[in-house]
């Protein structure tokens, strides 16, 4: 077996190959042009036939999909994708590739056995459906941010001339307001800017409608997504976004693993016999999921009296921010049970480990979201 470390970039791959003894037998750069990169992997696959094939390791990034597909195509026995590690000051592509191949060789038995060595965060590539759902929900989030920026630009122009008080309806996103904006008398440059912003607003609205329809279609076809929709404040978009980032719930042995995956557990600094909680949550994993859970808390506290009572108790002891994160943490445990047991949201029936949550709420602090 040979062990390949890959430092991936847009125009090139820096590779480092080790044999079974851990000795480096190849280090070079490979162009990402299709002919050249295919030739490299074809030659590697041919050379490693007598060595029982090869394993590969690389760090997760947005350019991974094509490379992962190519590694599978050329018979890579095990592909290990990990979160980027902190590098030394003396960082080079060759050094990074060498460190990756060494990590793979040292822990080869762990990786082949499905285990992850301490301090390494392995990323499981999503299935094709999960990847599509992630792309779709990320597109919706991006379009929403763009529309918000456009609306903020329109409001800025109106405030510049103290005109917001004259809008024809209380709600801003109406046909009457759009018509009113086209008729406003403004200085030439402001009129020019507004004439550019309003069509962008219309376009983004239509694009969001198309994306929302696709999200609703995909959500309706997935039973687990529909289960998540039973949580107060979780609709098609939130449920699909959360589920696509969880993937197979069976890969999380217990609810604490899922909470850690979403970055909702306190960081620890272990030294000898002392264990010190750093206070703030780790904030690892998906920022989008943490944002959606944070938004869901509003509805959960409104409609779930038991959760609201628990929230108030934590709030009195530790403050509103910590109590809010504690609810997010508890929601994560609830949705883990929901997906495991295929049950809809039932607070009392699903959550029983109050002591663990109280212990968490008593030690964790939050520094921003």
C-alpha span between 166 and 85 (Å, rounded): 54
Query: For 124-146, what is the mean pLDDT?
Result: 94
Model confidence at 208, pLDDT cuts 50, 70, 90, reads very high
Burial 278-297 (b: 16+ CB within 10 A, else e): eeebeebbbebbbebbbebb
Q: Among 42-51, 159-168, 187-196, which stretch is predicted with the lowest mean pLDDT?
A: 42-51
- Per residue in 290-334, pLDDT (tens digit) is 999 999 999 999 998 889 999 999 999 999 999 999 999 999 999
Q: At residue 242, does pLDDT exceed 50?
A: yes
Asked if 262 and 285 touch (Cβ cutoff 8 Å), the reply is yes
Q: At residue 365, does pLDDT exceed 50?
A: no
- Per residue in 136-179, pLDDT (tens digit) is 999 999 999 999 999 999 999 999 999 999 999 999 999 999 99
- Per residue in 330-356, pLDDT (tens digit) is 999 999 999 999 999 976 645 554 434
What pLDDT is recorded for position 272? 52
Average pLDDT, the chain: 88
Q: At residue 18, does pLDDT exceed 80?
A: yes
- Per residue in 30-41, pLDDT (tens digit) is 999 999 999 999
Asked if 67 and 6 touch (Cβ cutoff 8 Å), the reply is yes
């Amino acid at each position: 077996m040979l062990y390949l470390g890959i430092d991936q970039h847009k125009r090139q791959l820096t590779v480092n190959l080790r044999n079974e003894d851990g000795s480096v037998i190849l280090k070079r750069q490979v162009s990402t042009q299709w002919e050249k990169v295919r030739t490299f992997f074809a030659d590697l696959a041919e050379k490693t036939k007598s060595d029982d094939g090869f394993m590969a390791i690389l760090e997760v990034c947005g350019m991974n999909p094509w490379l992962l597909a190519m590694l599978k195509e050329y018979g890579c026995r095990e592909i290990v994708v990990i979160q980027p590690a902190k590098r030394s000051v003396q960082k080079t592509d060759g050094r990074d590739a060498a460190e990756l191949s060494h990590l793979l060789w040292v822990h080869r038995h762990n990786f082949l056995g499905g285990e992850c060595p301490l301090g390494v965060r392995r990323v499981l590539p999503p299935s094709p459906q999960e990847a599509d759902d992630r792309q779709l929900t990320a597109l919706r989030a991006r379009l929403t941010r763009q529309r918000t920026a456009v609306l903020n630009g329109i409001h800025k122009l109106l405030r510049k001339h103290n005109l917001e008080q004259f809008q024809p309806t209380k709600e801003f996103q109406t046909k009457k307001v759009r018509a009113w904006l086209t008729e406003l008398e403004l200085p030439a440059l402001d009129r020019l800017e507004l004439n550019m912003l309003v069509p962008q607003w219309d376009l983004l609205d239509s694009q969001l409608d198309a994306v929302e329809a696709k999200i609703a279609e995909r959500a309706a076809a997935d039973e687990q997504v529909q289960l998540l929709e039973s949580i107060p404040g979780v609709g098609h978009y939130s449920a699909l976004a959360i589920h696509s980032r969880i993937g197979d719930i069976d890969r999380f042995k217990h609810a604490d693993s899922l909470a850690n995956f979403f970055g909702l557990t306190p960081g620890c600094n272990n030294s000898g016999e002392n264990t010190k909680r750093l206070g703030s949550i780790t904030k690892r994993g998906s920022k989008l999921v943490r944002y959606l859970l944070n938004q869901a808390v509003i509805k959960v506290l409104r409609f779930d009296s038991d959760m609201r009572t628990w929230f108030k108790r934590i709030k009195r002891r530790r403050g509103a921010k910590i109590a809010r994160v504690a609810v997010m943490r508890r929601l994560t445990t609830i949705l883990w049970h929901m997906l495991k047991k295929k049950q809809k949201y039932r607070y009392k029936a699903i959550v029983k480990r109050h002591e663990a949550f109280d212990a968490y709420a008593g030690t964790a602090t939050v520094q921003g979201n």
